[in-house]
Amino acid sequence: MRRIRLTVAYDGTNYHGWQVQQNGITIESELDRCLTELLGEPVEVIGASRTDSGVHALGNIAVFDTTARMPAEKFPYALNQRLPEDIRVQAAEEVPSDWSPRKAPSRKTYEYRIYRAQFPMPTKRLYSLFCYRSLNAAKMQEAARFLEGEHDFKSFCQSGAQVESTVRTLYKAEVREEGEDLVICVCGNGFLYNMVRIIVGTLLEVGQGKREPADVERILAAKDRGAAGPTAPPQGLTLIKYEFL
């Protein structure tokens, strides 16, 4: 058996997230369907990040095993002919048969985009959060700095999630302005369930003056989901890339 690694981009708008579900089409179920059709053998991919409904990706990672001899670099072309147009494989390569996208050490980069204006802009609605309130970007950046480094992010994890440890390292948490957009970029060795969206919901409260930047230190120390801000809506979030170390 050979193990093939795919880099997958998708628009999450019309999917029930990544993971196969009983009700509703998912990114994973579409990949499984197209690979099974293409290879004539049952295929189930393993994904690196199980993104939620409405969340997008430029480069999520999936692996699958196959006995087929098709050269790895042919898979993007063969799969993209079968996939719906809102899912596109960007790259494929062979990896060792014991390589796991969930266990391999990696840096993941996410961006969350906020469109600031008086009225929503239709062409941005699927890929950003609309915000008519004024936001203090400098204070948001100041707050984000407290998240950098190794911390117990339990306060930024959706309660009910089952994980062995809630300690993660953020290499970067940056707030930048791109015209009318405010982009929150986080890079880390791993993210808990809803962690980026809870970080964004908390930074938005800082930006609106409802919290002070230094509150982030107290939120981390509380290790309690109730201490952080709300979970920001999914459509502003995009998984930008995986880098394997």
241 vs 121: CA distance, rounded Å:
26
Residues within window 121-160 making contact with its own copies, judged by CB under 8 A: 121-123, 125-127
- DSSP bridge partners of 61: 7
Residue from 66, 72, 120, 223 that binds its own copies (CB under 8 A)? 120
The DSSP call for residue 97 is T
Task: Specify the residue, 74 or 102, whose C-beta has the smaller distance to its own copies.
Answer: 74
Residues within window 60-119 making contact with its own copies, judged by CB under 8 A: 76, 80, 85-90, 118-119
**Cα dist. 141→112, 113, 164, 207 in Å?**
14, 14, 30, 9
Residues within window 22-41 making contact with its own copies, judged by CB under 8 A: none
162: helix, coil or strand? coil
The CB-of-60 to its own copies minimum distance in angstroms stands at 11
Examine residue 181 and tell whether it contacts its own copies (CB under 8 A): no
Task: Specify the residue, 40 or 122, whose C-beta has the smaller distance to its own copies.
Answer: 122
Q: What is the dihedral of CA 63, 66, 72, 77, to 10 degrees?
A: -90
Q: Are 206 and 184 in contact (CB under 8 A)?
A: no
Q: Where do the DSSP E strands lie in the chain?
A: 2-10, 46-47, 56-66, 87-95, 106-116, 129-131, 149-152, 167-178, 181-188, 237-244
Number of residues lying near its own copies (CB under 8 A): 23
Residue 52 annotated as catalytic = yes
Residue from 10, 146, 156, 242 that binds its own copies (CB under 8 A)? 10
The residue annotated as part of the active site, out of 32, 52, 181, 224, is 52
The CB-of-148 to its own copies minimum distance in angstroms stands at 26
Q: Which residues are catalytic?
A: 52
Residues binding its own copies (CB under 8 A)? 9-11, 56, 58, 76, 80, 85-90, 118-123, 125-127, 238
